[in-house]
Each structure stands twice: as structure tokens, then as C-alpha cells.
Amino acid sequence: MNAILLGPQGVGKGTQGEIVAPRLRLTRVASGDLLRAAIKAETPLGKDAKVYYDRGALVPDDLVIGLVIERLKQVAHHEPDLAGALFDGFPRNRAQAESLDSELDGIGQRIDRVVNLDAPRAILIARVTERVICAHCGTIYNLRTKPPKMAGVCDVCGSTDLRQRADDTDAALTERLRLYDDQTQPLLEYYRARGIVREVNGDAPIDRVTSDLLTALS
Ligand code: AMP
């Protein structure tokens, strides 16, 4: 099964994707994580992507599509027992959705389910601006609702390098939400026409969202 988690910034796609993907034997393919890794490693693609990333703009389609397809091929090669992929942050626009469809079609697969995870705007803005991420292992915290056990220290790897993401500032977030409304949200209609979209409320306790998501993906 291949599924897409669609939803605005801060709705919890990353947190929930990490919980539900292993339970469904899916590999999580998060384009934002792939880009952050490329930027951190200072690969040529990472250097090209950084200028867009830092200001909250969309990274050009050819860079992102290439990165996602490469990741899918790696997974097919190294983890052939997985049941499929759970996409997070990809596709972000119509061109990406069509590329993904044609790539999956080429290997006899398709998108089977799209979950629309949503929450009120004020909640999203609060969550994103309170978010910090461990620069070492990528664990995500919320300073108010899910702080690390010891202030400033990552629970998972012990690093003290907890930072705000470069694109989690007010200005970049406003641009990211605008792009979401403009380019990503309309994808719901693209997938609704196939009858594969399910709605999940992201404004609920983490456990509740997880169980609703598992239902939506089953
Ligand atoms: P995310 O972690 O999904 O919030 O993505 C962080 C940033 O990475 C976005 O603001 C974009 O700059 C870039 N990005 C992630 N996924 C995509 C995508 N599918 N298309 C274009 N840019 C992307």
C-alpha cells in the first residue's frame, strides 16, 4: 500500500508518520527530511535547495522529485519486505503528484490512500513557532506540549544542540502556509476524484490522532 499524509505545516505529519509507518510496515518518505539531510551534508543538490528552503519557498520540482524517486529505489533495493511507502510533505503540487503517479505506474503500483490531516490555523502557528528539533538525530520537540525531559538536552541522543528550524520563523511560516493553501490543498480534489481521501482531525491528543490515522489507513 502507498499512502500520502497531506496537511499543513505543524499539523503533526512528521510526529504521526514516525509512529504509524512502522506499525503498517511502510517506509516513511518525507521530502523535508531528505532535503534537510542533503543541506546538512552540503551535497550539490543540498546547496541548490538551501536558498529556497531557508526562506520557506518550495524547492524546484526537479530537485525534490529526483530526491524522492532515488529514495524509493533505495528502499525497494534494501528493504524489499516493506508493504509500501507513506509520503509526508510530498507531493506538494500538481506536477509532483503527476510525477509520482507515473513513477508508481511504471512499477505496477499506485497511491491507495490519502489522509487529509488538518487543524485550526492558530494551533498550527503556535505549534510551529514553539517547535525545536535536535540537530543531531532529528527528534522533534514542542517547548510547551512535548518538551525534552531535561531542558535543552535531546531525550534520544543526549545532544544539547536543539534548534529552531531555519524555516520555522514567523515570516517563513507565513509563506509556507500561503503556498500550502495555494498549491498543496488543491491536490485534495485531484485525489478525491478517485475516492481515496480520508479526513483526520489533527487537533486532538497525539494518541487519539494516531488511532484515527491507523483507522483511516487500514
Ligand atoms: P517540511 O519539512 O515538509 O515542512 O518541508 C520543509 C521545506 O522543505 C519546505 O518549506 C520546502 O522549502 C522544502 N520542501 C519539502 N518538501 C518539498 C516538496 N515536496 N516540494 C518542494 N519543496 C519541498
pLDDT, tens digit, 9 for 90 and up, residues 204-213: 999 999 999 9
- Helix, strand, coil share (%) of the chain residues, nearest 5: 50, 15, 35
pLDDT (0 to 100) of residue 165: 86
pLDDT surpasses 90 at 184:
yes
Q: What percent of the chain has pLDDT over 70?
A: 100
- Grid cell digits, residue 149: 525531559
Average pLDDT over residues 121-135: 91
Beta pairing class for 113-118 and 197-201: parallel
Of ligand 1's listed atoms, the one at least distance from the Cα of 52 is 12
pLDDT surpasses 90 at 59:
yes
Kindly report which listed range (54-58, 87-91, 148-152, 157-161) carries the lowest average pLDDT score.
Answer: 54-58
pLDDT surpasses 90 at 162:
yes
Look at ligand 1, atom 11, and give the residue with the nearest C-alpha. Answer: 58
* 165 Cβ closer than 6 Å to some ligand 1 atom: no
Q: What is the pLDDT of residues 23-35, one digit of tens each?
A: 999 999 999 999 9
Residue 107's pLDDT band (cuts 50, 70, 90): confident
pLDDT surpasses 90 at 55:
no
* 172 Cβ closer than 6 Å to some ligand 1 atom: no
pLDDT surpasses 90 at 216:
yes
User: Domains plus CATH for the chain?
Assistant: 3-119+169-216 (3.40.50.300)
Average pLDDT over residues 77-102: 93
pLDDT (0 to 100) of residue 37: 93
**Residue of 6, 31, 40, 96 best suited for mutating to test ligand 1, as the one with most atoms within 8 Å of CB:** 31
Residue with cell 512499477: 107
pLDDT surpasses 90 at 79:
no
pLDDT surpasses 90 at 182:
yes
Which long-range CB contacts under 8 A does 98-106 form with residues at least 24 apart? 99/61, 99/65, 99/69, 100/65, 100/68, 103/69, 103/72, 104/2
Q: What does pTM read for this prediction?
A: 0.89
55 catalytic? Reply is: no
pLDDT surpasses 90 at 99:
yes
Residue 21's pLDDT band (cuts 50, 70, 90): very high
pLDDT (0 to 100) of residue 76: 82
Find residue 87's DSSP bridge partners. Answer: 4, 29
Structural element, H or E, at residue 6 = strand 3-6
